[in-house]
Amino acid sequence: MKPISMKMKGLNSFLEVQEIDFEKLTSQGLFGIFGPTGSGKTSILDGMTLALYGTTSRNSTNYINVNTDKAFVEYIFSIQEKQQHKYLVARSFKRTKDGGIRSDSAKFADITEEEPVILADRVGTVNAKCQEVLGLSKDDFFRTVVLPQGKFSEFLKLEGMERNKILERLFHLEKYGERLAFLVKEQAGQWEGKRKEQEGALSRYEAVTTEAIQALEQKETELEKNLAKKEEALKKMRKNLEDSKGQILLWEEYDAVCEKENSLAKEQDDITALQENLKKAEIANGLFPYFSDYQESIAKEKSYTQKAATLTELWTEKRKSFTSTQLELQKAEERKQAQKPVLEQRRNNLLEAVKLAEERDIQKNRFHTQKKNREEITKKLLDAQEKMKALLQDIDARKLQKTAMQQEIVKTTISAEIQQMIMNGFQKTERLNQQKCRRTAIEEGLKEDIKNIRNKEREKQELLQRLKEKEAEKAEYLQNAWENQKKKCAKLSAEIEKAQVSQIEIQGKKETQEQLYMENMAAILAASLEDGMPCPVCGSIHHEKPQTLRQKEDIQALQKQKEALEEEIQAIYETLAGLRTQLQQEQQITFENLPISPKLTEELQKLQTEAAKKETEINGLQKRYTERKQEWEAENKEILQKENELEIQKQTAMVEDFQIAYEALQEKNRKREELQKLLETLEQKLDARIKNREKGEGIIQELKAQQTEASFLQKQAEEKLLEIKEKILEKAQTEENILEKLKETEASIAALEKQYETSKALFEQASTEEQEVARQLAAVKALAEASQKDSIQKYALLQEKMKSCSVTEETYIAKYHTEEQKLSQMREKLENFQKEKIRVQEQLLQIKKKLKSKRMEQGEFALLEKELQTLETETTEENKSFGAVRKELEQMKTAWKEKENVCVLLEKIHHKLDILSELEGLFRGKRFVEYISRYYLEHIAREADTGLKEMTGNTYGLEIDENTAFIIRDYKNGGASRPASTLSGGETFMASLALALALSSQIQMKGAAPLELFFLDEGFGTLDENCLEVVMEALEKIRNKKRSVGVITHVEEIKNRIPVHLLIEPAKAGEGGSKISIEEL
């Protein structure tokens, strides 16, 4: 952050508007703020923090000047991010009726561009936006911007626990202490519960081993080989059956194609007749275009002859009209030449008269305007003289009123010393009352702490009792779980025996169904055989008809029942495998590894965690009670001391009650402020009236000059008007109705022109129409002659084409002419017949090639199907056995993966518990906080060492030893180390300053942008002349373009060494508040 400017008004000692140009102030990199005690040096910092955070650096609650009820501050600064941004933050404050202060308005804007962008316009949002842009809280900002050097000197010499407390407070390391230890312990309890849960889950997988998986895999391989052999045989059988079925279909196709060939032979006669008709139609269609052209030519010849006769009659009429219009045109032209010159001369004279009349009217208006203007100027002059007289009387009265008001202000003015004394007493009284309120709040807090400690102790005992009950519940739960485990194993054994009995019963039903199926298949085969036909099974030619023959539907029903029984047997087999696996897994569970209910485990962990949490809370409350008691004792001691100081101050100021004195002071200041405002208003009005007097005198002189000029212009306009009237009479012989006479003349000229133009237009139209009709007549006659010649030529061509086609009569063309669509249909029909005939012949040849043997009967094909069905049944049985083994193997492998996952998770849980155990030991007490503090301290020491070497010309360095104590490295004496306490005053200052800058830099690391300004507030009065010289040399070395140093002091020796001064002049009686000015040496 780089400050640019700041305005403030009504803030502490600054009653009037004061502006600080930080660009000028920081131009040399080193500047000083000088002024007497109480003049407002620290108020500069208050202005910054009020603008950015809405509160002062000292958390003061009374920062508005006693002579006003309002204050405002406007601060402009820039931030160098990726690009430079310029921001404005403005706030106003108002004193309330009870003496407090509240924010009246707030605004935060980006003013980088010409148009400002409002980023926040409420108090809360402005606070948040400032902290977001700077990246620092108010406390961090103040610790960074203001370096109270004496405090850092103490930090340099502190060691051990005291310094760690400061670092813990500066860098907010409290979160790494007891709170972190509690969180680690809570996490360890949760992970211990997870460990027990996973160990219980692992006990269920004892039957799942690699040996069991290998045995199942071997059995699966054997079944897979047998199944492959069955499937190969089934494949060959299916191929043989497909080949036989194909031959049967080919013979059926052969019969159908032969029937199609016979049908085509019957259609041959109709096709021959169709070919003859097609030939005649093609000849007629070839001659038809010539015949059509000849007919069209005859029609055109007749049309053109009729049109020529019509145009001849029309031309005769147009010729008569042309002659008539020509005579009318000649008469109109003669009238125009005789009358037009006379009318044009008259029009020109009238036009000149109109212009003169317009000029006359203008001159007349000008005359009246000049007359009216002279009268208005005369009136204004009289008014101005009256007003000037009244204004002079008012000025004299207001001067008397101003003198009386100034005397009244002097009477109500109280000296700055008395005001400051009363205000200080009032502020101390307010702070004392607030401190008493804090003491009362602490007392209430102590009572509340005692009450909370007792409640927490009672809650802790209740938790311990509940924990004991849960432990008993856990033991009872495990005993019940063990009994349930035994019952579960017995139940599984009973289910396995029951499934085995069901398997035997269903297997018997299956065998009975197969026997019935085979018997009925033999009956169906025997029913289709006749005596003398050999049996395809045994070869016998004598066949007995069994009496148990059933219908084909019954055979299909038996087949479905058999398949259903096979599926049921397979399901029972799979159920048995699953039950055996489950029983084996359950028998591996012992009483020690019984799984515990997750809910019970969670409740136990929760109770243990809550008990530990209560213990921590009790320790925290007891600690807070002790701290709060110490705070009360310190607060009470300070209150008693301040009460004594306030009594002494009352006696000194001779005031019984600072509250009443402050209110009286406020009333006088309010009255004086009102009088000052009235006086300012009166002075402004008086100045305005004096200016008006001067202005009025000028106006009167100007109006007199205007009156003389207006009289001259009025006389000049009157003479010009008489001259114009004489010229109008000369041109128009009258002054009246000139425009009407001009319009009549122009109308006569226009009518003459219109009559001539009309006659001319009619003549031209008649001439054009006569010529157009004559042209059309000639064209039509030419077309008629051409059409006659064309008809003769086309007729000769038609006769020639008919002769070449052996056609003698024109009626032949009309008779056999056929539409092209119908002709195409005839050709398509003939073509399709020929294609179909060829296709049938080719199809017969192809089928004969594919036929390999004699026809196969349906009985032979049925026997092949029966063999295939038997083989398919055997393959299905083999496949079911293979599927059951594979499913059992998959279940076993899935269980093995689950077991591996549980083992991996247990390993992670053990690793996590080991880490938490180590962390629990590490975070016990404040060892980790001390470790973090040492980390920060090492970084601060390295940066401070660099700064100290730069300030001392590599004479001294700063380090920390193994006990984290600061030591000075003396390079003048060969790099020997020495304690910081052995340094002189100036050397201590430089070491402390280097350490202060390093610590400030570490705090700034949390910010969004570097702060390019800080203030050094140090009691330089305690340093001797040599030390001051060392101090100034150090300050000269650390200033640069990116960081300006501001020194707040009143030591004259330092003032003379600093190039730029911000001077604060304290308030004087009757002249407002403190004044600010910048001085460059």
Overall average pLDDT of the 348-361 stretch = 77
**What are the tokens at 222?**
């054997």
Contacts 24+ apart (CB under 8 A), 772-776: 773/311, 773/314, 773/315, 773/318, 774/315, 776/311
Overall average pLDDT of the 203-215 stretch = 77
Residue 167's pLDDT is 67
Grade residue 807 by pLDDT with cuts at 50, 70 and 90.
confident
Per the model's pLDDT, the better-predicted residue between 1008 and 646 turns out to be 646
Residue 549's pLDDT is 41
Residue 174's pLDDT is 62
- Asked if the model's pLDDT at residue 885 lies above 60, the reply is yes
Percent of the chain with pLDDT over 70: 83
Distance (Å, whole) CA 1056 – CA 1049: 12
Distance (Å, whole) CA 899 – CA 876: 34
Residue 666's pLDDT is 76
Per the model's pLDDT, the better-predicted residue between 206 and 834 turns out to be 834
Q: What is the pLDDT of residues 829-844, one digit of tens each?
A: 888 888 888 888 787 7
Q: Give exposure, 345-365, as e/b (b: 16+ Cβ within 10 Å).
A: ebbebbeebbebbebbeebbe
Residue 523's pLDDT is 54
Grade residue 1009 by pLDDT with cuts at 50, 70 and 90.
low
Contacts of residue 971, Cβ cutoff 8 Å, sequence gap at least 6: 954, 955, 956, 957
Cα→Cα distances 509→22, 495, 514, 554, 847, Å: 108, 21, 9, 17, 50
- Asked if the model's pLDDT at residue 644 lies above 90, the reply is no
- Asked if the model's pLDDT at residue 662 lies above 60, the reply is yes
- Asked if the model's pLDDT at residue 1041 lies above 60, the reply is no
- Asked if the model's pLDDT at residue 228 lies above 80, the reply is yes
605 near 186, Cβ under 8 Å?
no
* DSSP secondary structure string for all residues of 162-189: HHHHHHHHHTTGGGGSHHHHHHHHHHHH
**What are the tokens at 498?**
């029951």
Q: What is the mean pLDDT of the chain?
A: 77
- Asked if the model's pLDDT at residue 548 lies above 50, the reply is no
Overall average pLDDT of the 122-136 stretch = 84
- Asked if the model's pLDDT at residue 944 lies above 80, the reply is yes
Residue 653's pLDDT is 72
**Highest-confidence range of 80-94, 501-515, 816-830, by mean pLDDT?**
80-94
Overall average pLDDT of the 504-509 stretch = 73
Grade residue 86 by pLDDT with cuts at 50, 70 and 90.
very high
Cα→Cα distances 229→570, 882, 883, 887, 979, Å: 21, 13, 16, 21, 97
Residue 800's pLDDT is 80
Cα→Cα distances 36→41, 42, 416, 546, 783, Å: 8, 11, 14, 140, 127
Of 42-46, 549-553, 599-603, 860-864, where does mean pLDDT reach its minimum? 549-553
- Asked if the model's pLDDT at residue 149 lies above 50, the reply is no
- Asked if the model's pLDDT at residue 806 lies above 70, the reply is yes
Residue 73's pLDDT is 94
Per the model's pLDDT, the better-predicted residue between 423 and 459 turns out to be 459
Residue 168's pLDDT is 64
Q: What is the pLDDT of residues 737-765, one digit of tens each?
A: 777 777 877 788 788 778 878 888 887 88
What is the 8-class DSSP label of residue 540?
Answer: -
Contacts of residue 812, Cβ cutoff 8 Å, sequence gap at least 6: 284
- Asked if the model's pLDDT at residue 560 lies above 80, the reply is no
Grade residue 450 by pLDDT with cuts at 50, 70 and 90.
confident
Q: What is the pLDDT of residues 594-642, one digit of tens each?
A: 566 667 777 777 777 787 777 778 887 888 888 888 888 888 888 888 8
Cα→Cα distances 496→500, 582, 643, 924, Å: 6, 11, 95, 58
Three-state SS string over 875-906 comes to: HHHHHHHHHHHHHHHHHHHHHHHHHHHHHHHH
- Asked if the model's pLDDT at residue 1047 lies above 70, the reply is yes
9 near 17, Cβ under 8 Å?
yes
User: Minimal CA–CA distance to 448: which of 609, 613, 615, 632?
Assistant: 632
Residue 906's pLDDT is 83
Q: What is the pLDDT of residues 375-432, one digit of tens each?
A: 888 888 888 888 888 888 888 888 888 888 777 777 777 666 676 777 777 777 877 8
Is the pTM higher than 0.85?
A: no
Q: Give exposure, 258-293, as e/b (b: 16+ Cβ within 10 Å).
A: eeeeeeeeeeeeeeeeeeeeeeebebbbebeebbeb
Overall average pLDDT of the 1024-1049 stretch = 71
Cα→Cα distances 649→427, 610, 646, 655, 855, Å: 12, 56, 5, 9, 141
Overall average pLDDT of the 371-377 stretch = 82
Overall average pLDDT of the 719-736 stretch = 74
Per the model's pLDDT, the better-predicted residue between 170 and 775 turns out to be 775
Q: What is the pLDDT of residues 957-993, one digit of tens each?
A: 988 887 777 888 888 887 888 887 787 767 777 787 7
Of 41-50, 494-503, 779-788, where does mean pLDDT reach its minimum? 494-503
Residue 75's pLDDT is 93
- Asked if the model's pLDDT at residue 88 lies above 90, the reply is yes
Neighbouring-strand partners of residue 1040: 1043
Residue 545's pLDDT is 47
- Asked if the model's pLDDT at residue 91 lies above 90, the reply is yes
Cα→Cα distances 590→177, 474, 481, 582, Å: 44, 16, 11, 15
Q: What is the pLDDT of residues 310-347, one digit of tens each?
A: 878 887 887 788 788 878 777 777 777 777 777 777 77
The residue type found at 866 is K
Per the model's pLDDT, the better-predicted residue between 10 and 840 turns out to be 10
Overall average pLDDT of the 574-598 stretch = 63
**Distance linking the first and last C-alpha atoms of the chain:** 26
Q: What is the pLDDT of residues 40-81, one digit of tens each?
A: 777 888 888 889 888 886 677 778 887 888 899 999 999 876
**What are the tokens at 1054?**
């330092």
User: Minimal CA–CA distance to 869: which of 558, 509, 574, 529?
Assistant: 558
Distance (Å, whole) CA 473 – CA 463: 15
Grade residue 245 by pLDDT with cuts at 50, 70 and 90.
confident
